[in-house]
Amino acid sequence: MAVRPPRRRRGEGGVNPTGSLVRSEGMGSSPPLGPPPVGVEPTGAVTVGERSFDDFYRRELAGLVALARALCPPGIAEDIAQEAMLVVYRRWPEVRDLEHPEAYVRRVCANLAVSQFRRRLAEARAFSRSRVPDPGPEHGEHADFWRLVRSLPRRQAQAVALHYLYDLSVADVARTLQVSEGSVKVHLSRARQSLARQLGVDVGEDP
Amino acid sequence: MRLDELARAAAEDLRESADRDLDPAVSLGRLRRTRRRRKAAWLTAVAAVVVATAVAASDALGGRRAVLPLVPAEPTRTAASARTTAPPRPDEAFVVRSGTGLLSWSSRGLETLHGIEAEVRSFAFSPDGSRVAYGTPTSIVVADPDTGRSERLAACRTDACPVTWTPDGLEVLTSSPGLLRRIEVSTGVERTVALPAGWDPLSLDVSREGLVLMVVGGPDTGRLATVPLSGGMPAVVHTLPRATFGFDARWSPDGRRVAWMSKAEPDLPSVSVSDLVVNVVDADGGHARRLAVVGRCACLGHTPGLDWSPRGRLAVMSSDTRTQTAFEVGPAGKLTRIGGGSGPVAWRPATPG
């Protein structure tokens, strides 16, 4: 599953060529895009006027780990999130100029989390770092909900996780996953019906 | 309670637990160390290929002094710079993946095959050995390894992207979930053969009689199965033991046995590195046995491969956290080292006649 950053640059043509991931409300829980922060680049150089990877990492990591925990079994979520961040780290000069680098890293993470080969890779790495304690089975009153999400077809699971974890609209989920809005609507609707049926709750209205 | 309320509460719970469990500063340091380590590993691998190529070139020149290439050995060249006439190949050659190319070991020494310039997930030679089909994360490509000419045949629709040839050498076979895809090499025309629901083959091989062998299912439902190339009733040859991950099943040249690789796959989250095992079973499903253990499989990003040569030699790639070694497996399971590389392997048939 090749995941490449789109070759679109901030400010090109004065219009967001991605079809805009920018909403007035921002992308879910992401902070609004303000002036680029001052930070330290992966090379160690301090940059002014450009987005810093360190800031990006600190801002996005917890959300990515939550996304990975929603989509893959416990114990490897942190590795999946870290893998997604590694992809961004390697390509930071390109990624930082994207309109919304956070959408890119979320897509990478969501795709890695449902890819069985990369899951295996993460498993092996998790073992090689055996000093990390075994996280054991999932706890929490909502563990069953996420277990059911993970049992959904992968696109449905991705749509549900992005929609609820980041509070993204259907349009934003579609842009994050780079699929059509109609497709996201179908996936979300089917996923919600399936979850409601299994949980025995009222499905409510589609978003 | 409505689903939305429940889902939002679950999301809030997950976000809070992630916030609580993480120390971004520690994670960031780990990320930088991982990046440095991978860079170093990549450079080491490139250097190893350069040295191996130089040594092989030295042998091929009959003792003349080899000149170390200034740049890493490129597995591909342009068609114009590559040879235009293929020399005869009296012996079958053992071919492995190396970086983004393929290396061939034979009586002619070590050679880099032309026309391959991608991350190869699987590859197979045509029955006459003149062409190689390979699957990348996105495409299936057919290349002439002697001239370097290559052509994209179709898109790949699975992670594993398994490829094999039909016995007549006219079609390349691959899969997508629930389907076998037969693609005519000369025209690109595709036909499909339906598979049972949930079958997503991890590897493919076709016997001379046209029976397609595949590994399907996960750790608890793994099976070796066959389906006629022309469609028809699928059959299960062997059911893998519980918690076993099977991959790369191949027919023996006479079609009487099947070899495959396996790795124990403990229930998550107790993940472990486990023995990488070469197994054999008769084609009728009887007499399943372990032939050899070829190392401890961490399988970092490349699933090791196995292949049976047209003359009945069984080669297998081992894989652990430090080394990748190719072995020939003798009848009693005796292992003889025959090369290095990573991931899938294949035998290139000798020139017919």
Instruction: Specify whether B308 is located in the same domain as B335.
Output: yes
Q: Which long-range contacts (CB under 8 A, 24 or more apart) does B278-287 make?
A: B278/B306, B278/B314, B278/B316, B278/B329, B278/B333, B279/B246, B281/B224, B281/B237, B281/B238, B281/B257, B282/B256, B282/B257, B282/B258, B283/B237, B283/B251, B283/B255, B283/B256, B283/B257, B283/B258, B284/B237, B285/B236, B285/B237, B285/B238
Is residue B11 over pLDDT 50? yes
Instruction: Specify whether B23 is located in the same domain as B93.
Output: no
Residue A73's pLDDT is 73
Residue A132's pLDDT is 44
Q: State the Cα angle at B314 between B308 and B316, rounded to 5°.
A: 100
Instruction: Specify whether B36 is located in the same domain as B141.
Output: no
Residue A38's pLDDT is 37
Q: By mean pLDDT, which of A98-107, B105-114, B228-237 is the weakest?
A: B105-114
For residue B13, being part of any structural domain is answered with yes
Residue A131's pLDDT is 44
Using the beta-carbon criterion (under 8 Å), do B138 and A78 form an inter-chain contact?
A: no
* Contact assessment for residue B102 and residue B112, using Cβ atoms and an 8 Å cutoff: yes
Q: Among A53, A58, A123, A158, which would you mutate to test the B interface (most chain B Cβ atoms within 10 Å of its Cβ)?
A: A123
For residue B262, being part of any structural domain is answered with yes
Is residue A87 over pLDDT 50? yes
Q: In terms of Cα–Cα distance, which of B125, B283, B304 is closest to B213?
A: B283
Using the beta-carbon criterion (under 8 Å), do B2 and A136 form an inter-chain contact?
A: no
Contacts across the A-B interface (CB distance below 8 Å): 134
Question: What share of chain B in percent tops pLDDT 90?
Answer: 21
Kind of pairing, strands B150-155 and B139-143?
antiparallel
| Shortest distance, CA A207 to any CA of chain B (angstroms) | 9
pLDDT band for position B217 (cuts 50, 70, 90)? confident
Domain boundary among the residues B37, B70, B103 is at B70
* Contact assessment for residue A158 and residue A71, using Cβ atoms and an 8 Å cutoff: yes
Question: What share of chain B in percent tops pLDDT 70?
Answer: 84
Residue A118's pLDDT is 57
Instruction: Specify whether B294 is located in the same domain as B154.
Output: yes
Report the distance separating Cα B274 and Cα B242, nearest Å: 15
Instruction: Specify whether B35 is located in the same domain as B138.
Output: no
Which residue of chain A is at minimal alpha-carbon distance from B137?
A1
- Going by C-beta distance under 8 Å and a sequence separation of 6 or more, which residues neighbour residue A75? A126, A134, A135, B268, B269, B271
Report the distance separating Cα A196 and Cα A199, nearest Å: 5
Average pLDDT over residues B141-167: 89
Is residue B351 over pLDDT 50? yes
Instruction: Specify whether B79 is located in the same domain as B25.
Output: no
Residue A119's pLDDT is 58
Of residues A39 and B128, the one with the higher pLDDT is B128
- Going by C-beta distance under 8 Å and a sequence separation of 6 or more, which residues neighbour residue B303? A117, A120, B160, B247, B248, B343, B344
Using the beta-carbon criterion (under 8 Å), do B269 and A85 form an inter-chain contact?
A: no
Residue B103's pLDDT is 84
Residue B302's pLDDT is 57
What is the DSSP code (8-state) at residue B97? E
Is residue B171 over pLDDT 90? yes
Right CATH number for A35-137 from 1.10.3470, 2.60.120, 1.10.1740, 3.40.50? Answer: 1.10.1740
pLDDT band for position A129 (cuts 50, 70, 90)? low
State the CATH number of the domain containing residue B235. Answer: 2.120.10.30
Average pLDDT over residues B281-309: 80
* Contact assessment for residue B161 and residue B136, using Cβ atoms and an 8 Å cutoff: yes
Which residue of chain B is at minimal alpha-carbon distance from A42?
B32
Average pLDDT over residues B280-307: 80
Residue B56's pLDDT is 79
Q: By mean pLDDT, which of A38-52, A178-192, B192-206 is the weakest?
A: A38-52
Model-level pTM?
0.50
Residue B100's pLDDT is 72
| Shortest distance, CA B86 to any CA of chain A (angstroms) | 34
User: Domain containing B208: what range?
Assistant: 74-348
Residue A128's pLDDT is 57
Identify which of A75, A164, A165 has the shortest CB distance to residue B269: A75
Q: Among A67, A117, A193, which would you mutate to test the B interface (most chain B Cβ atoms within 10 Å of its Cβ)?
A: A117
| Shortest distance, CA B225 to any CA of chain A (angstroms) | 21
Instruction: Specify whether B40 is located in the same domain as B153.
Output: no
For residue B353, being part of any structural domain is answered with no
For residue B203, being part of any structural domain is answered with yes
Work out the number of other CB atoms within 10 angstroms of the CB of residue B182.
20
Residue B268's pLDDT is 44
Q: By mean pLDDT, which of A24-28, A192-196, B113-117, B253-257 is the weakest?
A: A24-28
Is residue A183 over pLDDT 90? yes
Is residue B90 over pLDDT 90? no
- For the stretch B225-247, pLDDT in tens is 999 988 888 899 998 887 777 88
For residue B151, being part of any structural domain is answered with yes
For residue B85, being part of any structural domain is answered with yes
DSSP string, B255-320: SSEEEEEEEE-PPTTS---EEEEEEEEETTS-S-EEEEEEEEE---S----EEE-TTS-EEEE---
Residue A133's pLDDT is 45
ipTM of the complex: 0.71
Residue B52's pLDDT is 86
Name every chain B residue with its beta carbon within 8 A of the beta carbon of A115. 159
* Residues of B engaging A, defined by a Cβ cutoff of 8 Å: 1-4, 6-11, 13-15, 17-19, 21-22, 24, 27-28, 30-32, 34-35, 137-138, 159-160, 268-273, 298-301, 303, 321
pLDDT band for position B323 (cuts 50, 70, 90)? low
pLDDT band for position B335 (cuts 50, 70, 90)? confident
Instruction: Specify whether B215 is located in the same domain as B167.
Output: yes
Question: What share of chain A in percent tops pLDDT 70?
Answer: 61
**For chain B, first and last CA: distance in Å?**
75
Work out the number of other CB atoms within 10 angstroms of the CB of residue A22.
14
CB of A40 within 8 Å of any CB in chain B?
Answer: no
Average of per-residue pLDDT values in chain B: 81
Is residue B188 over pLDDT 60? yes
Using the beta-carbon criterion (under 8 Å), do B273 and A124 form an inter-chain contact?
A: yes
Name every chain A residue with its beta carbon within 8 A of the beta carbon of B198. none
Q: Residue ranges per domain, chain A?
A: 35-137, 140-202
Domain boundary among the residues B10, B36, B70 is at B70
**In CATH, what class is A140-202?**
mainly alpha
Of residues A123 and A189, the one with the higher pLDDT is A189
Average pLDDT over residues B41-49: 88
Distances (CA, A) of A5 to A55, A85, A128: 19, 13, 29
Name every chain B residue with its beta carbon within 8 A of the beta carbon of A138. none
Name every chain A residue with its beta carbon within 8 A of the beta carbon of B3. 192, 195-196, 199, 201-204
- Going by C-beta distance under 8 Å and a sequence separation of 6 or more, which residues neighbour residue B268? A73, A74, A75, A76, A123
Instruction: Specify whether B107 is located in the same domain as B178.
Output: yes
* Contact assessment for residue A77 and residue A69, using Cβ atoms and an 8 Å cutoff: yes
